[in-house]
Amino acid sequence: MRTIQVANTFIDRIAVDVDKTGTREIGEGALVRTETYSYTVTEYRDEPRTEYVTVTVADPPTPEQFDEALAIACQRDPTVDEETHALALIEKIEQGRFTSHTPPSIAASDYDVFLPMIASTATPCLTPDVTVGCPPPEPVFETVDGSFVPLELEVRNEGGIQYRPIEMVVDRTTYDNIIALGVTPEEFMQAHVDEMNTILEASGVNMRVEVGEIRYVESMTSDQRGPWNVSNSGRWPLTSYDPTGSSGWTPDTLIDTGLLHEWGHSVLGLWDDYGFDVHAASADDPFSPGSTKIYAGPASLMGVPRDPVIAPWAVAQLNDIAAAGTGYQPHVAVGVTEADIPDRATLIFNPSLAGRAVTVHFRDPAGGFDEDAYLTGVISPDGRFVVDPSSLFENILDADSTSSQSHLSRTEWGTMLIAVEGASGPEYFYLDMTNFVEAQLDQGNEASIVID
């Protein structure tokens, strides 16, 4: 069911007494004299008046409920037959009691002969969604206190797809900002759900998101946001939020990819793929801290920029979760195990680099890469260099939680630099953990990765 407001516009004819005074000349020639007069007349003027009636209808309304709502809109007594009511309304129209409007484009029901006449007396907002021009009924804004707690959300698996409901908390500031866009929070959320599902489907993810619950609060402090700002919980607080101020805002579609990115964390449990990015002084000086991006991680919704795709390495993780029927696990993000990376990986270089010395470096948390090599070796005569991925990424694999894995991948151990000795200086190449996950998906436990 949906509660909507019906807008009725009337013209009230109001009688006003007006005093008339003036002078006039009476007689002719020498007998002309001036006379003052005064009298009162009654004049009429039209005063517009709009009334709103709250009506509960189906979603969308059935013909019977539409009739009932329209009857309310036109002040029609349902016990009065339609013809009598229509004739009475025509008489009122002739008397100037009502203004005329374009009838709504909704099929007539059992009194379709008289519906155009009846509908022309009012502007009922009787579409499945709130119609522009009729203000949506304001929701009840709750106070966040000890009794205001997160909902328990249950995922469901149907036809090989897992559906994940979302609980959103919207404060009054956010509500006003969304309404200013010409849409309701419900419409805003549904549009983002549809966009997220388009991305998931196109990426091959066997998951979909859906509207669970929208809860309205007067305000929410940063501390109160805590229980809703949790990875893999299905919850997200929209507080003090202005979509137009987001770097991911697209005015033409009213879609904020920044919100979709946050759902990637809170609904899907994804990592930040931009965590694999590396900034340093320059491409020629990768060992010194700086602000130049010298390497970018996977292109995805979880990266920067926010591309409309889920990275292949994460697709496999999500599909495993969906296939297992695993529901929300707050604070547990997508994880990587030894089963997700090859037992042995062969890095294939250009043959011209055969016989060159190689050093492998991971990041320095202070910025750039650590100058101390994690691994050293020599490229074989056929241009190959074999590595043990389990050893390379042991710090991530041995982390005590998936949250720690995510943190380590973005601060130290997720991306590596391969420096190849050259006559005029080293050549630099880059790989990150996701390259190995994708290699295992494509090739199994004995994988090759071309370095270029």
CATH of the domain at 165: 3.40.390.10
Q: Does some domain include residue 147?
A: no
Q: What is the pLDDT of residue 18?
A: 73
Task: Judge whether 111 lies within some domain.
Answer: yes
Residues 11-36: tens digit of each pLDDT: 666 777 777 777 666 556 556 666 66
Structural domains in the chain (count): 3
Tokens coding 177:
């900002």
The structure tokens 């009636």 sit at: 53
Residue 412 within a domain: yes
Say yes or no: 303 and 410 in one domain.
yes
For residue 128, what pLDDT is reported?
35
pLDDT of 154 over the 80 cut: yes
CA atoms of 350 and 379, how far apart (whole Å) = 10
Last residue of a domain, one of 91, 119, 147: 119
pLDDT at 135 exceeding the cut of 60:
no
Kind and range of the H or E element at 20? Answer: strand 2-26
| Same domain, residue pair 53 and 181 | no
| Measured CA distances, 139 to 218, 236, 319, 321, 403 (Å) | 11, 19, 37, 36, 36
Domain span including residue 108 = 2-119
Residue 161, pLDDT > 60, answer: yes
Per-residue model confidence (pLDDT) at position 268: 97
The answer to whether residue 132 is domain-embedded is no
Query: Per-residue confidence at 452, pLDDT binned at 50, 70, 90?
Result: confident
**For residue 425, what is the DSSP state?**
S
| 226 and 99 inside one domain | no
Q: What is the mean pLDDT of residues 171-175?
A: 95
Alpha-carbon distance of 160 to 162, in angstroms, equals 7
Residue that finishes a domain, picked among 215, 245, 268 = 268
pTM: 0.71
Distance CA 438, CA 239 (A): 37
